[in-house]
Amino acid sequence: MKKFFLFLSLPILLTACASVQKAENFANCTYALRSIEISDYNVNSLSFDVYVGITNLNRREAAAIKKFEGKMYMNEVEVADVNFEDVRIDPNSYKNQKVHLTVPMETFNSKLLGLVSMGSATVDYHLTGTAYFDTPLGEVPIPVDIGRVGSNN
């Protein structure tokens, strides 16, 4: 009887292990801030485009980010919410996801506004949040923490 029960439970265990492995494969990505470009400014707000580089290190499975929810900081000042949805990265490739942000001028102090508007290299950009991946097991949250433009985490 024990052998019969073990025989019946073996396919379930193998399927569960394969599903866990697939879920891990989907989340095998690295992230980087590729660039930040000012796109528009006026008396009330500053708009810029943030390019988040996502590299899928998996050689067989595509990564499907259902959504990303995070926050952008400049010199430790929270400036904007960063959100995007439905991003697919093919196996062993990368994608630069463009996110358009509009930040009210009152968010910046005068020093930070001057540095950002001049494109200064001394501005410390930081993006932190959670990427939610679609997997056979459902939605899997993965924390993301990206430092300065061009650095990988």
Q: What is the 3-state secondary structure (H, E, C) of 14-48?
A: HHHHHHHHHHHHHCCEEEEEEEEEEEEECCCEEEE
What's residue 120's pLDDT? 64
Q: Which of 46-50, 66-70, 124-128 has the highest mean pLDDT?
A: 66-70
Residue with more model confidence, 147 or 110: 147
- 43 within domain boundaries: yes
| Position 84 in a domain | yes
> How many structural domains comprise the chain?
1
Is 114 part of any domain? yes
For residue 32, what are the contacts with CB-CB under 8 A and spacing of at least 6?
52, 53, 55, 146, 150, 151, 152, 153
User: Per-residue pLDDT tens for 112-143?
Assistant: 777 776 666 677 889 999 999 887 778 889 99
* Residue, of 19 and 81, whose pLDDT is higher: 81
Domain of residue 78, residue span: 2-146
pLDDT of residue 93: 93
Q: What is the mean pLDDT of the chain?
A: 79
- Domain-located, residue 32: yes
In a domain, 152, yes or no: no
Please check whether residue 79 is in contact with residue 126, taking contact to mean a CB–CB distance below 8 angstroms. no
21 is a domain residue: yes
Q: Give burial (CB, 10 Å; 0-12/13-18/19+) of 61.
A: middle
Q: Would you state the pLDDT for residue 26?
A: 54
CATH code, domain with 72: 2.60.40.1820
pLDDT at 22 over 60: no
